């Protein structure tokens, strides 16, 4: 049985606790206690979240298999005792993970020096400025560099936990746990923290309906006429309303959706480029390559190599 230790400090963000639900459901799927969860703090006792909810914790007198540090809304000072415990954990525990701004705590303890790491996008610049020895990848859901894992904020705690479960027990168990949690199995580590749909921010239900249709039918040509039909508008009305609400043409928005889906498939690592191009509607590799160069400054093959290094697999 593996022990998961989640470290909380006063002022922790309560979404960090969501990671424990994934391990709880993993036990249910396994039909046994594959994981034992322990909530830790430096001195033990009640630790309070930003919502004033109190959580009972135990002191640093154990060393779990996996040590996780929950984030705070605003990264605060790190006590000498916590830093010392994390330095020990880096060599004695099998894995150490920072959830959201928990990356700041790991960096303060020196665990991220020379490593790749991510955090909530709103704090990425501060992490980079305070800890120049850390290679900050601000647009990742989670990352793994050796035995050190970091994740973005909020719901990314679940993605990180699912990745840890997959690391322990394989993709099938992680998929079943994701289903129990009613979440996508699992967002790839290299997937952007920003959703193309959220970035477009359409106001009307009709444009939202058309974009949802596009995301679910990427293999289609997705012409203006097809999208207009999904929105129940004439092509002329649709084009005018779409640009007014999103600031983009329908073709540009569809390309963003295709790029997001293609990048996720590349990060998964098991799909040939021809399959990625076909399934995301680019039709051929050359068209997909041109779109990747415009968006990311590198071709799909180059991005696939970099994602394999820092988006969920051990770095060389």
Mark which of 116, 146, 181 sits at the end of a domain.
Answer: 181
Higher pLDDT, 141 or 277: 277
Residues 152, 263 share a domain: no
Residues 150, 35 share a domain: yes
Question: Taking the model in full, what pTM does it have?
Answer: 0.68
Over residues 219-247, mean pLDDT = 94
Q: Is the pLDDT of residue 83 over 60?
A: yes
How far, in Å, are 85, 86, 109, 316 from residue 69 at the CA level? 11, 9, 12, 24
Over residues 124-153, mean pLDDT = 92
Give me the number of domains the chain comprises. Answer: 2
CA–CA dist 71, 143 (Å, integer):
16
Over residues 58-77, mean pLDDT = 94
> Is residue 216 in some structural domain?
yes
Domain extent at residue 39: 2-181
Q: Active site includes 100?
A: yes
| From 15, 20, 99, 100, the catalytic residue | 100
> Is residue 186 in some structural domain?
no
Q: Give pLDDT, residue 90.
A: 97
6 forms beta bridges with 39, 68
252-273 pLDDT per residue, tens: 999 999 998 898 888 766 788 9
Q: Is the pLDDT of residue 22 over 60?
A: yes
Q: Which helix (H) or strand (E) holds 142?
A: strand 142-145
85-94 pLDDT per residue, tens: 999 999 999 9
Q: Buried b / exposed e across 99-126, counting CB within 10 Å, b at 16+?
A: bbbbbbbbbbbebbeebbbbbbeebbee
């Amino acid at each position: 049985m593996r022990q998961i230790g989640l470290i909380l400090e006063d002022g922790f963000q309560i979404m960090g606790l969501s990671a424990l639900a994934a391990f709880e459901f993993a036990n249910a799927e396994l039909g046994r206690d594959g994981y034992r969860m322990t909530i830790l703090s430096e001195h033990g006792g009640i630790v309070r979240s930003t919502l004033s909810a109190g959580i009972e914790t135990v002191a640093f007198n154990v060393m779990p298999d996996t040590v996780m540090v929950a984030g705070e809304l605003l990264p605060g000072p790190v006590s000498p005792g916590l830093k010392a415990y994390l330095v020990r954990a880096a060599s004695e525990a099998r894995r150490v993970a920072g959830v959201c701004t928990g990356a700041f705590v790991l960096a303060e303890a020196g665990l991220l020096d020379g490593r790749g790491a991510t955090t909530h996008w709103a704090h990425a610049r501060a992490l980079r400025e305070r800890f120049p020895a850390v290679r900050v990848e601000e647009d990742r859901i989670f990352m793994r560099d050796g035995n050190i894992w970091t994740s973005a904020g909020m719901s990314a705690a679940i993605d990180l936990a699912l990745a840890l479960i997959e690391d322990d027990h394989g993709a099938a168990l992680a998929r079943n746990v994701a289903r129990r949690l009613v979440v996508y199995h699992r967002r790839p580590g290299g997937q952007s923290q920003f959703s193309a749909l959220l970035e477009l921010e359409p106001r009307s239900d009709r444009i939202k309906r058309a974009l949802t249709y596009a995301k679910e039918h990427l293999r289609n040509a997705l012409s203006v006429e097809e999208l207009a039909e999904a929105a129940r508008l004439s092509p002329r009305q649709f084009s005018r309303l779409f640009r007014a609400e999103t600031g983009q043409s329908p073709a540009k928005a569809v390309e963003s959706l295709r790029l997001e889906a293609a990048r996720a498939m590349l990060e998964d690592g098991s799909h040939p480029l021809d399959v990625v191009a076909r399934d995301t509607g680019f039709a051929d590799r050359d068209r997909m390559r041109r779109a990747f160069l415009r968006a990311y400054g590198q071709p799909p093959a180059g991005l696939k190599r970099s994602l394999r290094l820092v988006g969920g697999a051990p770095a060389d």
